[in-house]
Copies of this chain bind each other. A is one copy, B any other.
Amino acid sequence: MHSGSTGHDAHAVEHGRELAKRVLSGDWRSLARAITVIENDEAAADALAAALYPKTGHAHVIGITGPPGSGKSTIVDVLVKVIRDQGMTVGVVAVDPSSPFTGGAVLGDRVRMQRHAGDAGVFIRSMASRKQAGGLAPATRDVIRALDAFGRDVIIVETVGVGQVELDIMKVADTVVVVTVPGLGDGVQTIKAGLLEIADIFVVNMADRPGANQSVSDLKIMLTLGGAEERRRRWKPPVIQTVATAGTGIAELWERILEHRRVLQADERMGRSHDRLRAEVVEAVQHRVGTIVSEQMSRNGSMEPVLAAVLRRELDPRTAASTIIAQHFK
């Protein structure tokens, strides 16, 4: 999220609106450019996001996560083919929070692109953690919105499931798919507790390996043990087996995703979306207030005496924060 005076720069606003217009008209290159503007949090990002936002809310967002080596990318590739065969358009966002470089990700793009090259119904983009000052999850959310406004029917977000950032990214999805494989470490143990709670569908990939049935029943037991969350009242997460390299089970995965989409009743969807948007606004306020406070401190302004007292250990950071809020927030 871009903040500060340049955000109100007339040229940047004009540029953002123009770019949004071209994205909404279906221009592929403008979409790629718009995503870069969002990723790099350029001056035009605010106006661009504002102009795209009213046109969002159409796409179904699928999150796919799992440990490295579980075959997520192959699943995504085959799933894209299944979805395209039904005439729907797809956007894919591959996020690697552990990498500060886009190098590997970009290479991955090229390898993938070969399969879907020339198919205007598939748009693939990789993201890494290099540039997103506001955080990778908020940037991913805005990239998904750009793809949504562009008119994609289905958007797939793929990430490696190990940390908090990945969990935050998965929270933007309507349907969360968690992938594991038989005999990977402790197998089911590799699925972090946080993921278990937000998963809507489990996939045991490489199900032709020994131990696949064991993994499935382990997962089912874990699901029984982990008390049902509110959102699970109408939906019991299925556990399905796939061999993505042979294409086996991916059609079933897609069926289950569509089923989950239907089961997500309108009111439930509204509730989720309400909670998410509320959290997003709060987060954006926090981010901008942080920028304002940080800038005022650097400028030796009204907050400097407070910071100086903290440095002299006369005032602790918590009390300093309360003081600043009392002085500046009404």
By a beta-carbon cutoff of 8 Å, the part of chain A in contact with chain B is 1, 46, 49-50, 52-54, 56-57, 97-98, 100-101, 129, 162-165, 192-194, 273-274, 277-278, 280-290, 292-294, 297, 306-307, 310-311, 313-322, 324-325, 328-330
Contacts and interface: CB of A to CB of B under 8 A. Distances in A.
Contacts of A101: 193
Nearest to A273: B311
Among the interface residues A192, A287, A329, A330, which one has the most CB atoms of the partner chain B within 10 A? A329
Contact of A297 (B1, B163, B282, B293): B282
A46 B98 contact: no
A311 B274 CA distance: 7
A205 to B, nearest CB: 21
Nearest to A289: B289
Contacts of A320: 281, 284
Contacts of A274: 311
A292 B49 contact: no
Contact of A164 (B46, B54, B163, B311): B163
A97 B164 contact: yes
Contacts of A100: 192-194
Contacts of A330: 328-330
Nearest to A101: B193
Contacts of A294: 278, 282
Contact of A321 (B97, B285, B297): B285
Given A49-B318, A319-B46, A285 B293 contact: yes
A264 B273 CA distance: 50
Contacts of A287: 286, 321
B98 A277 contact: no
A163 to B, nearest CB: 3
B289 A283 contact: no
Nearest to A2: B318
Nearest to A296: B282
B293 A282 contact: yes
A50 B320 CA distance: 10
A280 B317 contact: yes
A49 B322 CA distance: 13
B311 A192 contact: no
B98 A284 contact: no
A187 B297 CA distance: 42
Contact of A325 (B280, B289, B307): B289
Contact of A289 (B277, B281, B286, B297): B286
Contacts of A328: 329-330
B50 A319 contact: yes
A287 B285 CA distance: 10
7 contacts: A1-B318, A56-B313, A98-B162, A277-B307, A281-B310, A282-B290, A285-B289
Contacts of A325: 285, 288-289, 292
Contact of A285 (B53, B290, B316): B290
Contacts of A281: 293, 297, 306-307, 310, 317, 320-321, 324
A53 B318 CA distance: 10
A38 B294 CA distance: 25
